[in-house]
Amino acid sequence: MTITVGHDSAGTRKTLEAGGKTVAYYSIPAAEAAGLGDFSKLPAALKVVLENMLRFEDGKTVTQDDIKAFSDWAANGGKGDRELAYRPARVLMQDFTGVPAVVDLAAMRDGIKALGGDAQKINPLNPVDLVIDHSVMIDEFGNPRAFQMNVDREYERNMERYTFLKWGQTAFNNFRVVPPGTGICHQVNLEYLSQTVWTDEDQHGETVAYPDTLVGTDSHTTMVNGAAVLGWGVGGIEAEAAMLGQPISMLIPEVVGFKLTGAMMEGTTGTDLVLKVVEMLRAKGVVGKFVEFYGEGLDKLPLADRATIANMAPEYGATCGFFPIDGETLRYLRNTGRDEDRIALVEAYAKANGMWRDADYAPVYTDTLELDMGTIVPAISGPKRPQDYVALTAAAPAFEKVVADFRGIDISGDAKDMAAEGPAATKPVNIHKTASVEGEDYELRDGSVVIASITSCTNTSNPYVMIGAGLVARKAAALGLTRKPWVKTSLAPGSQVVSAYLEAAGLQEDLDKVGFNLVGYGCTTCIGNSGPLQPEISKAINENDLIATSVLSGNRNFEGRISPDVRANYLASPPLVVVYALAGDMNIDITSEPIGQTPDGKDVYLKDIWPTTQEVAELVEQTVTREAFQSKYADVFKGDEKWQGVEVPQQETYDWPATSTYIQNPPYFQGMGKDKGAITNIEGARVLALLGDMITTDHISPAGSFKDTTPAGQYLVERQVPVREFNSYGSRRGNHEVMMRGTFANIRIKNEMLDGVEGGYTKGPDGNQTSIYDAAMAYKEAGTPLVIFGGEQYGAGSSRDWAAKGTALLGVKAVIAESFERIHRSNLVGMGVIPFEFTGGDTRKSLGLKGDESVSISGLDTVQPLQEVPCTITYADGSTKEITLKCRIDTAIEVEYIEHGGVLHYVLRNLAQAPVAAE
Q: What is the pLDDT of residues 777-833, one digit of tens each?
A: 999 999 999 999 999 999 987 778 899 999 999 999 999 999 998 889 989 999 999
In CATH terms, the fold of domain 90-375 is Aconitase; domain 3 (3.30.499)
Q: What is the mean pLDDT of residues 575-589?
A: 97
At residue 193, does pLDDT exceed 60? yes
The pLDDT-based confidence of 421 (bands split at 50, 70, 90) is very low
Question: What topology does CATH give the domain 379-396+433-628?
Answer: Aconitase; domain 3 (3.30.499)
pLDDT-above-70 percentage for the chain: 97
Listed in order, the ranges of the chain carrying CATH 3.30.499.10 are 90-375, 379-396+433-628
613 to each of 87, 266, 467, 478, 552, how far by Cα in Å? 42, 6, 11, 20, 22
Q: Rounded distance, CA 636 to CA 712, Å?
A: 35
Helix (H) or strand (E) holding 525: none
Closest CA to 481 of 616, 609, 615: 609
- The closest of 290, 359, 264 to 80, measured between CA atoms, is 290
Among positive and negative, which fits the CA dihedral 577, 582, 588, 592? negative
Q: In angstroms, rounded to a whole number, what is the distance separating the alpha carbons of residues 88 and 85? A: 10
CA atoms of 103 and 200, how far apart (whole Å):
29
Instruction: Encode pLDDT of 239-287 as tens digits.
Output: 888 888 889 888 899 999 999 999 999 999 999 999 999 999 999 999 8
State how far the alpha carbon of 539 is from the alpha carbons of 288, 430, 441, 728, in Å.
Answer: 43, 21, 15, 21
Show the DSSP H helices in 180-268 as ranges.
Answer: 185-188, 236-243
pLDDT exceeds cutoff 70 at 424? no
What is the pLDDT, as a whole number, of residue 430? 60
Q: Write the class of the CATH domain 682-912.
A: alpha beta
| pLDDT for residue 238 | 85
DSSP characters over 726-758:
---TGGGTT-HHHHHHTTT--TT-B-TTSSS-B
Would you state the pLDDT for residue 915? 64
User: What percentage of the chain has pLDDT greater than the value 90?
Assistant: 80
Report the relative pairing of strands 207-211 and 197-202 from DSSP bridges. Answer: antiparallel
Q: pLDDT tens for residues 713-762?
A: 999 999 999 998 898 898 899 999 999 999 999 999 999 999 989 999 99
Predicted confidence at residue 719, as pLDDT, reads 96
CA 168, CA 103: separation in Å to the nearest integer? 9
Can you give the length of the chain in residues? 919
Q: What is the pLDDT of residues 560-571, one digit of tens each?
A: 889 989 999 999
pLDDT in tens, 842-883: 999 999 999 999 999 999 999 999 999 999 999 999 999 999
CA 102 to chain centre: 19
Q: Are 185 and 137 in contact (CB under 8 A)?
A: no
Query: What is the pLDDT of the chain when averaged over all its residues?
Result: 93
What is the structure's pLDDT at 235?
A: 80
Report the C-alpha gap between 892 and 865 in whole angstroms: 6
CA distances from 918 to 110, 118, 121, 470, 915 (A): 19, 10, 12, 59, 9
Residue 670 pLDDT level (bands cut at 50, 70, 90): confident
Domain with CATH 3.20.19.10 in the chain: 682-912
Compute the average pLDDT of residues 409-433: 57
pLDDT at 536: 97
